[in-house]
Amino acid sequence: MTVDTVDVEWADPAPIPVRSKEVRRLGRVIIRFAGDSGDGMQLTGDRFTSETASFGNDLSTLPNFPAEIRAPAGTLPGVSSFQLHFADHDILTPGDAPDVLVAMNPAALKANIADVPRGGEVIVNTDEFAKRAMAKVGYDVSPLEDGSLDGYRVHPVPLTTLTVEALKEFGLSRKEAERSKNMFALGLLSWMYHRPTEGTETFLRSKFAKRPQIAEANITAFRAGWNFGETTEDFAVSYEIAPATAAFAPGVYRNISGNLALSYGLIAASRQAGLPLYLGSYPITPASDILHELSRHKNFGVRTFQAEDEIAGIGAALGAAFGGALAVTTTSGPGVALKSETIGLAVSLELPLVVVDIQRGGPSTGLPTKTEQADLLQAMYGRNGEAPVPVVAPRTPADCFDAALDAARIALAYRTPVFLLSDGYLANGSEPWRIPDTAELPDLTTPFATGPNHTLADGTEVFWPYKRDPDTLARPWAVPGTAGLEHRIGGIEKQDGTGNISYDPANHEHMVRTRQAKIDNIAVPDLTVDDPDGARLLVLGWGSTYGPITAAVRRLRTEGLPVAQAHLRHLNPFPANLGAVLAAYDRIVIPEMNLGQLTSLIRARYLVDARAHTQVNGMPFKAEQLATVLKEALHD
Amino acid sequence: MTDTQTAPTPAPAPLSLVPAAQARQSAKDFKSDQEVRWCPGCGDYAVLAAVQGFMPTLGLARENIVFVSGIGCSSRFPYYMNTYGMHSIHGRAPAIATGLATSRQDLSVWVVTGDGDALSIGGNHLIHALRRNVNLKILLFNNRIYGLTKGQYSPTSETGKLTKSSPMGSLEAPFNPVSLALGAEASFVARTVDSDRKHLTDVLQQAALHPGTALVEIYQNCNIFNDGAFEVLKDRDQAAEAVIRLEHGQPIRFGTDHHKGVVRDPATGDLHVVEAAGNEDRILTHDAHATHPTTAFALSRLADPDTLHHTPIGVFRSIQRPVYDTQMTHQLDTATQQHGPGDLTTLLTGNDTWTVAG
Tens-digit pLDDT profile for residues A49-89: 999 998 999 999 999 988 888 788 899 999 999 999 999 99
Please report whether residue A3 resides in a domain.
no
**Partner residue facing A486 (CB), from B84, B348, B357:** B84
**Cβ contact A280–B99 (<8 Å):** yes
Q: Which residues of A touch B74 (CB under 8 A)?
A: none
What does the pLDDT read at residue B357?
Answer: 85
**Cβ contact B87–A491 (<8 Å):** yes
Q: Which residues of B touch A55 (CB under 8 A)?
A: 354
Is residue A278 domain-shared with residue A421, that is, in the same domain?
A: yes
What is the per-residue pLDDT across A500-524, written as a single tens digit (0 to 9) for each? Answer: 999 999 999 999 999 999 999 999 9
Domain boundary among A194, A224, A247: A247
Tell me which of B30, B37, B84 to substitute to probe the interface with A (most A C-beta atoms closer than 10 Å). B84
Is residue A393 domain-shared with residue A455, that is, in the same domain?
A: no
Interface of B with A in 73-112 (CB under 8 A): 78-79, 81-89, 92, 95-104, 106-107
Q: Which residues of B touch A276 (CB under 8 A)?
A: 103
DSSP-derived letter for residue A142 is -
Please report whether residue A166 resides in a domain.
yes
**Cβ contact A323–B99 (<8 Å):** yes
Distance from CA of A363 to the nearest CA of B (A): 25
Q: Which residues of A touch B327 (CB under 8 A)?
A: none
**Cβ contact B86–A481 (<8 Å):** no
Q: Which residues of A touch B350 (CB under 8 A)?
A: 254
What does the pLDDT read at residue B296?
Answer: 98
Q: Which residues of B touch A302 (CB under 8 A)?
A: 332
What does the pLDDT read at residue A21?
Answer: 83
Tell me which of A255, A298, A310, A500 to substitute to probe the interface with B (most B C-beta atoms closer than 10 Å). A298
Tell me which of B35, B92, B327 to substitute to probe the interface with A (most A C-beta atoms closer than 10 Å). B92
What does the pLDDT read at residue B7?
Answer: 60
What is the per-residue pLDDT across A291-304, written as a single tens digit (0 to 9) for each? Answer: 999 999 999 999 99
Please report whether residue A371 resides in a domain.
yes
- Report the chain B residue with the minimal C-alpha distance to residue A298: B332
Q: What is the ipTM of this complex?
A: 0.96
- Report the chain B residue with the minimal C-alpha distance to residue A51: B352
N-term to C-term CA, chain B: 49
Share above pLDDT 70 across residues of chain A, in percent, rounded to a whole number = 97
10 Å CB burial of residue B349 (0-12, 13-18, 19+) is middle
Is residue A201 domain-shared with residue A301, that is, in the same domain?
A: no
Is residue A124 domain-shared with residue A181, that is, in the same domain?
A: yes
- Report the chain A residue with the minimal C-alpha distance to residue B128: A308
**Partner residue facing A254 (CB), from B331, B335, B352:** B352
Domain boundary among A471, A493, A523: A523
Residue B88 C-beta-side C-alpha neighbours within 13 Å: 36
Please report whether residue A15 resides in a domain.
no
Q: What is the CATH number of the domain that holds A367?
A: 3.40.50.970
Tell me which of A488, A498, A502 to substitute to probe the interface with B (most B C-beta atoms closer than 10 Å). A488
Q: Which are the contacts of A324, defined by CB distance < 8 A and separation ≥ 6?
A: A275, A448, A477, A479, A480, B103, B104
Is residue A143 domain-shared with residue A36, that is, in the same domain?
A: yes
- C-alpha Rg value of chain A to the nearest Å: 27
Full 3-state SS string of chain B:
CCCCCCCCCCCCCCCCCCCECCCCCCHHHHECCCCCCCCCCCCHHHHHHHHHHHHHHHCECHHHEEEEECCCCHHHHHHHECCEEEECCCCCHHHHHHHHHHHCCCCEEEEEEEHHHHHHHCHHHHHHHHHHCCCEEEEEEECCCCCCCCCCCCCCCCCCCCECCECCCCCCCCCCHHHHHHHCCCCEEEEEECCCHHHHHHHHHHHHCCCCCEEEEEECCCCCCCCCCCHHHHCHHHHHHHEEEECCCCECEECHHHCEEEEECCCCCCEEEEECCCCHHHECECCCCCCCCHHHHHHHCCCCCCCCCCEEEEEEEECCCCCHHHHHHHHHHHHHHHHCCCCHHHHHHCCCEEEECC
Record the pTM.
0.94
Measured distance CA(B286)–CA(A23) in Å, rounded = 86
Is residue A312 domain-shared with residue A458, that is, in the same domain?
A: no
Distance from CA of B337 to the nearest CA of A (A): 8
What does the pLDDT read at residue A379?
Answer: 98
Identify which of A620, A621, A625, A623 has the alpha carbon closest to the alpha carbon of residue A63: A620
**Cβ contact A250–B86 (<8 Å):** no
Backbone angles phi and psi of A297, in degrees to 5:
-120, 45
Q: Which residues of A touch B88 (CB under 8 A)?
A: 315, 318, 345, 490-491
Is residue A46 domain-shared with residue A139, that is, in the same domain?
A: yes
**Partner residue facing B348 (CB), from A50, A436, A482:** A436
**Cβ contact B124–A309 (<8 Å):** yes
Is residue A341 domain-shared with residue A463, that is, in the same domain?
A: no
- Report the chain A residue with the minimal C-alpha distance to residue B36: A501
> Helix A181-192 vs helix A41-55: angle between axes, to the nearest 10 degrees?
30
Q: Which residues of B touch A251 (CB under 8 A)?
A: 355-356
**How many domains does chain A contain in total?**
4
Q: Which residues of B touch A464 (CB under 8 A)?
A: none
Measured distance CA(A194)–CA(A240) in Å, rounded = 6
What does the pLDDT read at residue A19?
Answer: 67
What does the pLDDT read at residue A18?
Answer: 60
Tell me which of B347, B349, B355 to substitute to probe the interface with A (most A C-beta atoms closer than 10 Å). B347
- Report the chain A residue with the minimal C-alpha distance to residue B130: A308
**Partner residue facing A345 (CB), from B88, B98, B102:** B88
Distance from CA of A327 to the nearest CA of B (A): 9
Domain boundary among A436, A464, A494: A436
**Cβ contact A299–B341 (<8 Å):** yes
Q: What is the CATH number of the domain that holds A552?
A: 3.40.50.920
Q: For residue A462, what are the domain limits?
A: 447-523
What does the pLDDT read at residue B9?
Answer: 67
* B350 dihedral zone (left: phi>0; alpha: psi -120 to 50; beta): left
What does the pLDDT read at residue A221?
Answer: 97
Q: Which residues of A touch B213 (CB under 8 A)?
A: none
Q: Which residues of B touch A489 (CB under 8 A)?
A: 85-87
pLDDT at A8 over 80: no
Please report whether residue A441 resides in a domain.
no
What is the per-residue pLDDT across A374-383, written as a single tens digit (0 to 9) for each? Answer: 999 999 999 9
**Cβ contact B102–A303 (<8 Å):** yes
What does the pLDDT read at residue A246?
Answer: 87
Q: Which residues of B touch A483 (CB under 8 A)?
A: 61-63
**Cβ contact A322–B352 (<8 Å):** no
pLDDT at A17 over 90: no
B18 touches A at CB < 8 Å: no
Interface of B with A in 111-130 (CB under 8 A): 124-125, 128
What does the pLDDT read at residue A6?
Answer: 36
Please report whether residue A418 resides in a domain.
yes
- Report the chain B residue with the minimal C-alpha distance to residue A304: B328
**Cβ contact A491–B88 (<8 Å):** yes
When pLDDT is averaged across residues A281-290 and rounded to a whole number, the result is: 98
Is residue A458 domain-shared with residue A504, that is, in the same domain?
A: yes
B4 touches A at CB < 8 Å: no
**Partner residue facing B352 (CB), from A255, A300, A305:** A255
Is residue A102 domain-shared with residue A50, that is, in the same domain?
A: yes
What does the pLDDT read at residue B5?
Answer: 53
Give the domains, in start order, of chain B with CATH numbers: 27-229+319-349 (3.40.50.970)
- Report the chain B residue with the minimal C-alpha distance to residue A488: B85
Q: Which are the contacts of A363, defined by CB distance < 8 A and separation ≥ 6?
A: A333, A374
Interface of B with A in 277-306 (CB under 8 A): none
Q: What pLDDT tens digit does each residue of chain B (358 aa) get?
A: 344 455 666 667 778 899 999 999 999 999 999 999 999 999 999 999 999 999 999 999 999 999 999 999 999 999 999 999 999 999 999 999 999 999 999 999 999 999 999 999 999 999 999 999 999 999 999 999 999 999 999 999 999 999 999 999 999 999 999 999 999 999 999 999 999 999 999 999 999 999 999 999 999 999 999 999 999 999 988 999 999 999 999 999 999 999 999 999 999 999 999 999 999 999 999 999 999 999 999 999 999 988 899 999 999 999 999 999 999 999 999 999 999 999 999 999 998 888 888 7
Distance from CA of B129 to the nearest CA of A (A): 9
Measured distance CA(B87)–CA(B89) in Å, rounded = 7
Is residue A260 domain-shared with residue A323, that is, in the same domain?
A: yes
**Cβ contact A54–B338 (<8 Å):** no
CB atoms closer than 10 angstroms to residue A422: 33
Distance from CA of B176 to the nearest CA of A (A): 22
What is the per-residue pLDDT across A600-629, written as a single tens digit (0 to 9) for each? Answer: 999 999 999 999 999 999 999 999 999 999
Is residue A164 domain-shared with residue A109, that is, in the same domain?
A: yes
